[in-house]
Amino acid sequence: MLRANGAAVSRMIFNAGDRLDWGGRNAVKFRRGGDAWPHALAGLAETYTDLILFGEAGIYNQTVIEQADRLKASVWVIENGYFRPHWVTMERNGVNARSTLPRSADGYPAPAPREPPFQPAGAILPHHVWNLALYHTVQVAGRLFYPRYVRPYSRHAIVQAAGHAWRYLKLRLASPLATDTGVIAGRGPFFIACLQREGDTTLLRYSDYATNTAFLERVIEDFARAAPKDTRLVVKNHPLDPGLVNYGAVVRRLARRHDAEGRVDFIDGGNLAELCRASRGMIVNNSTAALSAVGFGTPVKVLGQAFFDFAGLTDQKPLSDFWRSPAPPDHDLYVRFREHVLHRTQINGSYHNPAMQEATAIRMALAFAGGWDRAQVQ
C-alpha cells in the first residue's frame, strides 16, 4: 500500500520466517552476526527515510529503539493495540513503557476528540496462534540459510510453535466451567492477577519482575499477608502463552508456601470483561489488560512501568493497601484518556485476521503518507 502511494519499500530479512512473510521483492537480507547489526543499521538509516519495527523484542529491534534519537531515519513501532481487539498501535520511537504519551491526567484534557468509527476486527486468537506456529516452524526449517540469526526468546522456536499448537488444542477441549465467571464468583469475592507472555520485552526491560514466576511470588506473598481472609485470588494466563511453563503448578506451590492454599486459583482462558466486572480489582505487572479493566470501572494496581499508571486511572497505593481499599478509576478521565490515545496512536485493524489485513494496511499506509491525519499517530 505504501508503494501505491509512491514510496520505495524494502523488508529486512533476518530468518526464513521473514522470507516467507515477504516474498522476494526488495528484500534486504542480513546474515551476519548480531554484533554487526549496529553498523548495518547506521547505513540503513542513511538510505531510508523511515524504519518500521513490529514490536520491541529481540536484539535487532532493541538496537533500533536504543539508537532511535540518533538515527537519521524516523523510527516507528507498530504493535498489537492498546485497546483490543479492534485497534493496532503505531507510535514514534517506542510503545508501552517507552510510549511518548503523557503520564498524568493533565495530558488528557477536555474536550477530548470523539472516538473514531471502527470496523470490528473479528476473531484474532486462532489466526494469531497459526501465524506464530508457522513463522517459528519455517524459521527453524530455514536455519541453514540464516545460521547467525539471534532469536528474541530463550526457548527454541520449534518448542514454542509446538507449545502454541498444543495449548490451543487443550483450550478447545477444556470444560468451560473451569473459567466460568459465575462459578468463580460463587466461591467468594476475588481479585484477578493477569500474566503476560514469558520473555516479553515489557517484562524484561520495564519491570522489577522479569518473569511471571517472580511477579506471582510478589503478588501471592502479599495477598496471603495483607488481603482480607474472605477474598480469593484468581491468576489468569496470557492468551498467547506458549504453554512451556506449568503456571498452575507454580501457583499451587506459591500458595502452599505462603499459607494461602485454597484461596488462590489458576485459570487458562475465561472472559476478561466478565471477570473484570465481577472482581474487586486487578493486579498486573504492566499488561495492557489493565486498560480493559479500567474501562469497566475495575480498580487496577500496576507493579511494573506502564504509560497508563498514574493517579485517576490506576491505584497509586502500595499493593498491601490495595487489597483492603482498592480505588476505582475516574470514569470521565478514562473516557478522555481513551479518546486521546485512540487519536494519537491507534489504527482500526488487525495484523492477524486475514479478512482485516488489507484494510489495516491501507489505513496504515494513509497514516504514513500523511493523508489520514498523521498527527494522530505521532
DSSP assignments along 78-93, one per residue: EEE-SSTTTEEEEEES
Q: Is the pLDDT of residue 5 over 60?
A: yes
- Contact at 8 Å (CB) between 63 and 38? yes
Same domain for 245 and 349, yes or no, is no
Same domain for 308 and 196, yes or no, is yes
Domain total of the chain: 2
Predicted local confidence at residue 78, as pLDDT = 95
Predicted local confidence at residue 372, as pLDDT = 47
Q: Is residue 170 part of a domain?
A: no
Residue 377 binned pLDDT confidence (cut-offs 50, 70, 90): very low
Q: Is residue 221 part of a domain?
A: yes
Same domain for 229 and 300, yes or no, is yes
Q: Is residue 50 part of a domain?
A: yes
Same domain for 260 and 350, yes or no, is no
Same domain for 190 and 319, yes or no, is yes
Helical H segments across the chain, by residue range:
16-22, 37-47, 58-67, 125-141, 157-173, 181-185, 201-205, 212-226, 247-257, 272-278, 289-295, 319-322, 331-345, 354-369
Predicted local confidence at residue 371, as pLDDT = 52
Average pLDDT over every residue of 261-286: 95
Same domain for 213 and 94, yes or no, is no
> What percentage of the chain reaches a pLDDT higher than 70?
96
Same domain for 194 and 328, yes or no, is yes
Range with top average pLDDT, 79-88, 214-223, 367-376: 214-223
Same domain for 271 and 365, yes or no, is no
Q: Tell me the C-alpha distance between 231 and 247, whole Å.
A: 21
- Contact at 8 Å (CB) between 303 and 283? yes
What is the residue-averaged pLDDT of the chain?
90
pTM for the full predicted model: 0.90
User: In CATH, what number is assigned to the domain containing residue 303?
Assistant: 3.40.50
Same domain for 100 and 185, yes or no, is no
The Cα-based distances of 60 to 8, 30, 56, 197, 232 in angstroms read: 22, 11, 9, 19, 42
In terms of residue numbers, what domain contains 252? 180-334
Same domain for 362 and 312, yes or no, is no
Same domain for 349 and 263, yes or no, is no
Same domain for 327 and 218, yes or no, is yes
